[in-house]
A = this chain, B = another copy of it.
Amino acid sequence: MFKQTEGGVTAAKGFMAASTAAGIKYKDRTDMAMVYSEVPCTVAGTFTTNVVKAAPVLWDKMIADEKKTAQVVVINAGIANACTGEIGYSYCEQTAKAAEEALNIPYDNVFVASTGVIGKQLPIDKIMAGTKVLAGKLNGSIEAGTDAAKAIMTTDTKKKEIAVSMMLGGKEVTLGGMCKGSGMIHPNMCTMLGFITTDANISKELLDKALKEDVQDTYNMVSVDGDTSTNDTVLLMANGLAGNEKITSADSEDYKTFAAALHFVNEYLSMRIAEDGEGATKLFTAKVINAKTKAAAKVLAKSVITSSLTKAAVYGNDANWGRILCALGYSGEQFDPYKVDITITDGTDTLMLVENGMATDYSEEFATKILSGKEVTAVANMKDGEATATAWGCDLTYDYVKINADYRS
């Protein structure tokens, strides 16, 4: 239906990117990126549900929901434009106007995004200067996309990007994305910073639908530390340059293919965020099967990956299934604990730890071997229905504490 291809945000036709070292906070690294489309895009966005919304969230929401088109995103890392009061919104406007001047596009077609320490004032002069530099460096190469993915990192240790291509109505359509996120990760209704570009020709209504539905099963099922950021944003930009017949029906095969490809991209990026959680040594996935409802399955899965005790046990390669059962139990969902089976797997080996709520006669040594992998999945079979959900998290380590006890200095 679709296949993975090279690159990220510049993989789709007509998209270019650039990055630069604007000197916002970090030394010796890039800290600003730009993603640009040759033509205006239909856009969709999902944003944090935190009551404390950062200025760029308000700005981008205005563009995604009211203006409905955009052509460029300007992103800075190091200091987040958050908790900055009314001046924060004027920073968005000033950045957008710098892009307007440099690129000759309307300022209300400019998305802005910001990540880093919160509570410090943004060096707006550096950001406006950086925006102009970025405009002069735009490039459609795969490398330019990869460099942009690196420039938006904060405590991330790996850049996160992916691209897929598919045939829609005889035309090749590409979808690429990048994101960042490592701490303050517990998205709700949306996520950390994610940027997805496509040359698909698709209506605004269906672009919104595809993104809003899919974030519920992808970014919103990730948690590093239970803290929902003030700046969470995912933007999806479609410039139509693939030349496919416009997708306008949610029942069409083309829409289904596009939505499946989008899900693949979002799921991939979500897993990369989870495994690169601050201080994490491994990806910890919780899969709940045979739950009563989809909503229940999601609550149960998320409860397991957010349990500090379970996360610390995963770090210690300790098959502490009691903590998993306990986390299912306090999730808020009702179930019969004496029906639950719990299995762990590293993708190769599988071991049942609990059957019908009671410990099996498993080998602790074998359990430790499985838990020592870089990707560990706990599967809880509720035997209570047919619904399934997956949530992604990471282990809780000394380094998480270290990073966050001293992040601002």
Contacts and interface: CB of A to CB of B under 8 A. Distances in A.
A139 to B, nearest CB: 35
Contact of A323 (B227, B335, B401): B227
A52 interface: yes
Contacts of A52: 325-326, 328-330, 337, 357
Given A330-B227, A338-B85, A404 B308 contact: yes
A407 B306 CA distance: 18
Interface in A281-319: 306-309, 312-313, 315-316, 318
Contact of A184 (B229, B309, B407): B309
A316 B49 CA distance: 28
B358 A183 contact: no
Contacts of A325: 52, 83, 119, 230
A102 interface: no
A358 B85 contact: yes
A322 B82 CA distance: 8
A401 B312 contact: yes
A268 interface: no
A360 to B, nearest CB: 11
B226 A226 contact: yes
A286 B44 CA distance: 38
Contacts of A306: 226
A88 to B, nearest CB: 10
Interface in A366-409: 396-398, 400-409
A185 to B, nearest CB: 10
A265 to B, nearest CB: 26
Contacts of A143: none
A358 B84 CA distance: 6
A334 interface: yes
19 contacts: A51-B333, A51-B337, A52-B329, A83-B359, A85-B338, A85-B357, A119-B322, A184-B323, A184-B326, A186-B330, A188-B330, A226-B308, A227-B307, A227-B326, A228-B330, A308-B308, A309-B404, A315-B405, A400-B401
Given A51-B330, A119-B321, A308-B400, 14 more contacts: A50-B329, A51-B328, A52-B328, A53-B329, A83-B357, A83-B358, A117-B322, A226-B226, A227-B327, A229-B326, A316-B406, A320-B408, A397-B401, A401-B401
